[in-house]
Amino acid sequence: MLAGGFAAVDDLRGKAARSGVHGPRCYPRGMSLDTSVGARLRDWRRRRRMTQMELAGSAGISTRHMSFMETGRSLPSRAMLLRLSALLDVPLRDRNGLMVSAGYAPIYREQPLDTDAMAAARVAIEQLLTGHEPYPALAVDRHWQLVAANRAFPALLAGAAPALLQPPVNVLRLSLHPDGVAPRIANLPQWRAHVLERLRHQWQATADPVLAALLAELQAYPCDDGKADADVPADALDSIVVPLQLHDGHGGLLSFFSTTTVFGTPRDITLSELAIESFFPADARTAAAMRTALPEGDHGSAN
């Protein structure tokens, strides 16, 4: 177990199943409260900023047929729902919701990572996390709750309040909370703007109310110098990547940039909602510091 009791790679089996937040799907402001299949199709089309004509053309049907399905005058077939949901990039969880609202059985399963059926995926996750050592990497679910992390990840968490490290750990809350990592982030306004914009985009794409609540919570957190998002200089974000710069406690900075890895062709809801965040050193000093913290022979294959 890592600091605070959350899951290390060795604890992935049995821990991951408890990390998700499962509950009824609700719709935030801007989405219809009508749960009919037609209303849901219309909401997803509008969310993707497509006209009926554009979606109908992509699906190979008439605009009239598209209109009839949205108004309830025509019930889409199971195959048509699958085609439209793919064109609209509807999350697998919500594709099941479309199926149920039309009277069909759900298509996609949601299996915990600790089941035998998920063994290959679990091994792949473990290899990605351990192979990235001595640099930090972590796996998160759709609500940014920690599923697993490698042994280098705690290097990012020095000084965080123990309460924020108790499972389930939300890594975005941990990052921006005044009692979390935020006091160590040298470029907090810049990093905060990046995190909020990414979360805002994710919420807009998924209509997930849990993400909407998390976004509102994080927006209410103070920034280290009191600057609001609009006060961040425009050129602060005008770079190749937004780095995470942490005070190391010895007068220096640890600087990282991150990448996101997802499963390319998931047909399971759990896998479709899981992402691996990998942090790479942005300079030689950070690389050396991380190699020192996790000596050669104690980590994977990252260089």
- Domain containing 159 equals 3-21+116-293
pLDDT > 90 fraction of the chain, expressed in percent and rounded:
76
Instruction: Answer for the pair 263, 126: CB distance below 8 angstroms, yes or no.
Output: no
Q: How far apart are CA 33 and CA 73, in angstroms?
A: 19
**What sign does the dihedral 208-211-213-216 (CA atoms) show?**
negative
Q: Within a domain: residue 58? A: no
Q: How far apart are CA 155 and CA 203, in angstroms?
A: 29
**CB burial string 8-20: b at 16+ within 10 A, e below:** bbeebbebbbebb
Q: Within a domain: residue 104? A: no
Q: Within a domain: residue 90? A: no
Residue type at position 78: R
Q: Within a domain: residue 69? A: no
Domain CATH for 137: 3.30.450.20
**Which pLDDT score, from 0 to 100, does residue 240 have?**
76
**Structural domains of the chain, count:** 1
Q: What are phi and psi of 244, to 5 degrees?
A: -105, 115
pLDDT exceeds cutoff 80 at 132: yes
Q: Within a domain: residue 203? A: yes
pLDDT exceeds cutoff 50 at 103: yes
Per-residue confidence band for 17, with pLDDT thresholds at 50, 70 and 90:
very low
Q: Within a domain: residue 83? A: no
Cβ atoms < 10 Å from Cβ of 51: 12
Q: Is the whole-model pTM more than 0.95?
A: no
Q: How far apart are CA 249 and CA 88, in angstroms?
A: 47
With CA atoms as reference, report the closest residue to 166 among 18, 17, 12.
18
Q: Within a domain: residue 29? A: no
Residue 280's DSSP bridge partners are 257
Q: What is the DSSP string of 91-102?
A: -HHHHHHHHHHT
pLDDT exceeds cutoff 70 at 183: yes
pLDDT exceeds cutoff 90 at 33: no
Q: What is the pLDDT of residues 56-86, one digit of tens each?
A: 999 999 999 999 999 999 999 999 999 999 9
Q: Within a domain: residue 35? A: no
